[in-house]
Structure 1
Amino acid sequence: MTGQLVLMKMAMGRYPAVDAAVPGTVLFEACKNYFKDKSAIAYVVGAAVSSDSMVDPSNAIYIADLEDAGQVLSLLLVRGDPKRAIPAFVNPRSRSVVQSRPDDPGYVPGASCHVVISKQEIAAGNDQGRFRTVVEQTRGIGRALVKDFLTLLLKRFAEDHPDRFIAEKKRKRKNEKPETVTYRPTVRFHPQMNGNLKKDLEEGRIGGFKLTRGSTKFRGEADEPALQRLDVQLQARIAPTNDFSKVKRLVDHVRQTLKVISFESLNVELVDDSGHRIDSVSTATIGIENLDDADMRYCKTVTIPDHGGEAAECYSAFHPPTKKFAAKCLQNAEYWK
């Protein structure tokens, strides 16, 4: 059984913005409490999650197994997805196919995903206060769904314990009156950057940046075709560098110099070895503001060792080798450099 683990750092947030720090213990407590009373479940509606079981109770994600051991919290998330392809077995000799569909209509195809979180905060650096997190790559249970599911549990937890989530709202201006509000904790995922970003920089694959603004002030005469949008772009090519912070400083300097122009987007452009733009891949341009902190396209992955046996897609309890290897990944310093 082989697969991939994604390495990230989990951070606690709060909504709305308040002068309060949310400890990771809040998430750990919420997961354990709702798992214990068998209510750690949410329902999937499109790309979002909901607590309303009336939408489609068969399309749901829940905590199937949980283990709180020392400095590690392990979760096994299971999702039932009625739109997922039904597993089947084929016999190449007889050329027959047997569908694995149970007679009970309450069953739907499902998948499992291991989520292993370090309970030890990162003590220093840009990731200070975050928690190392390993998520199994599973079709149908993406990182966004995992994050939204945990955030929904935190929302419920805040509603059940409102007295624990009261703080002063952050003031945008000094003359604003202090205001005490209730808030809810949230979860954010930040990628553990892999070596590809450094390699792309060193090889000159990040070869420039593009600033774009749009204007719709001119629409033409009433009886003529209207000009719906006019794009004004500034493009710059830069020399290859192995220090991405220098690229950001350069772009910030150009943007500040041209501050009279309100640019709507700001992207780093990836180029191939011959200097041409890469148009056929999703990473042709990347928003520079989020590249080094939230863009998952440069997220480090680790291959799960092949432990043999059948590769089940879904199970109700932890797969011990996967959980054990994920916990080891949290402790492997080489993965987190």
Structure 2
Amino acid sequence: MSVRLKLTLSYAGFLMLAGALLLAAVWVFLLSYVPDSARGLLGVAPNRRVLLRTFAPAAAAVLAFLLVFGLVGGWILAGRMLAPLTRIADATRRVANGSLSHRIQLEGRTDEFSELADAFDAMLARLEAHIAEQQRFAANASHELRTPLAISQSLLDVARNDPAHDHGELVDRLHAVNARAIDLTEALLVLSRADQRSFTRECVDLSLLVDEAIETLLPLAEKRGVTIDTSGDITPTIGSHALLLQMTTNLVHNAIVHNLPEQGTVWIKTSVHPETVALTVENSGEKLSSQLVSTLTEPFQRGTGRIRNDHAGVGLGLAIVKSITRVHDGSLTVVPRPAGGLHIVVRLPAPPPHAAK
């Protein structure tokens, strides 16, 4: 049986039960007022038989009316009550057929059905945005991976058609192209692992991660003539040590590489707030527009006019930072500095008092 039929029978059955109880109460009430002028049982019994012959047809008519009224009214009422579920079911079938743009948009006062419909619409909106993002990401990744493969193919074709070509130079160029493809693949794997949220959470000190990232990248900073200035206190949070270290390293690497050609500076600060902790990374550099900066956290967006060299990466640095921040329930703010460069702030939830000890 359908849910509507079950509800109809339930309404009708409840109404019949209530009617039967009411008639029973009326019958008991009437029996208490049976005339007792006639002495003994012979006098009371005829009065009760007369009362039963009068009351029984009326009671049967009332029960029959309640049955019809309960079935018809229950069917209509159940239909009205289940109408929102019908719209939700229709939306689900459209989603199953690939239409993610459809929304229920249930009107009326707020109740359980409207909350369910709103939650379903919000889920569809997030799902549509996520799939669109994944499609863009897949297209960009395919393009980025195709480039080194195409270059390798061209180099090999040249070597095959020109046996006298300098093979040492060919090997060097193939090594550089292959290294770039490996870096891109590893970055894609990091981004995929971050999006899966499949990691163990532990207490992590962001200030120690900053020290570790600086120690790793200090040779690069010295080679480029970039000065790193750090400040802040112990900054505990809860998350994956490996992912948060990757996030911190990407931020510092980005600040070093995309800096002034000479005498550049990177400012790193960790701070603790009532409910959050913050990691702030600023760097000197060229002046950037707000429109350009807003695209830098998207995959493979490197920014036109930004400094490019062998250390420029594969365009996933800030995208990985954004993904790691999101899976740690944090927020990422990227704005241009008036004097040039970027001002980046990562805010993460502060750990509970007992976890920070």
TM-score of the two chains, using structure 2 as the length reference:
0.19
Structure with the bigger RCO (C-alpha within 8 Å, sep 6+) is 1
More helix by share: 2
